[in-house]
């Protein structure tokens, strides 16, 4: 019996987000967003609303998901990955920006995440669930240290 390849639709998805940092007593800290079930720690990001630029999307999503007002400070590039959803394979690209807080409080984050917290650079890299996001965070740490 011959196996036949099943053709599956491919969808292209785009999101934008940020790596928010602060310096406390000379130590660089980053904000991460956490869910309890399943246990996940990630960077804030989301899908553009109609007509939004990637920068506008990143600023809005970071504000919503972290409770922080932020300012863009640099481009951290994109990551991309594939995943499956019912009936389709999804190719996702995510654009990240380096950001600094200008106001707000992490306690005011939206309900999409259970927790939002600050971590030292080293702890943030160990805590992030996805290695591709840890690579973005590493780029952010290098940019901050070069300032």
d(CA 7, CA 135): 33
E runs forming strands in the chain: 9-24, 27-35, 40-42, 45-46, 68-85, 88-104, 115-120
User: What is the pLDDT at residue 5?
Assistant: 60
Which stretches of the chain drop beneath a pLDDT of 70? Answer: 1-6
Structure tokens that stand for 121 in this block: 């650079």
- Environment class of 62 (CB within 10 Å of its CB; exposed 0-12, middle 13-18, buried 19+): buried
User: What is the pLDDT at residue 7?
Assistant: 75
Among the four given CATH numbers 3.40.50.620, 3.90.79.10, 3.10.129.10, 3.20.20.70, the one describing domain 9-145: 3.90.79.10
**Rg over CA atoms, the chain:** 17
pLDDT in tens, 18-44: 999 999 999 999 999 999 999 999 999
Let me know: does 21 contact 136? Beta carbons within 8 Å: no
């Amino acid at each position: 019996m011959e196996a036949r390849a099943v053709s599956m639709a491919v969808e292209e998805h785009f999101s934008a987000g940020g790596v928010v940092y602060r310096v406390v007593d000379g130590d660089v800290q980053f904000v991460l967003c956490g869910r309890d079930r399943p246990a996940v720690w990630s960077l804030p990001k989301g899908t553009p609303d109609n007509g939004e630029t990637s920068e506008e999307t990143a600023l809005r999503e970071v504000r919503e998901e972290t409770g922080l007002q932020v300012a863009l400070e640099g481009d951290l590039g994109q990551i991309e990955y594939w995943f499956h959803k019912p009936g389709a394979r999804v190719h996702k690209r995510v654009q990240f920006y380096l950001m600094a807080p200008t106001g707000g409080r992490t306690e005011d984050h939206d309900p999409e995440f259970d927790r939002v917290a600050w971590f030292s650079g080293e702890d943030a890299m160990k805590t992030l669930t996805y290695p591709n996001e840890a690579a973005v965070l590493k780029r952010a740490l290098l940019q901050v240290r070069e300032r």
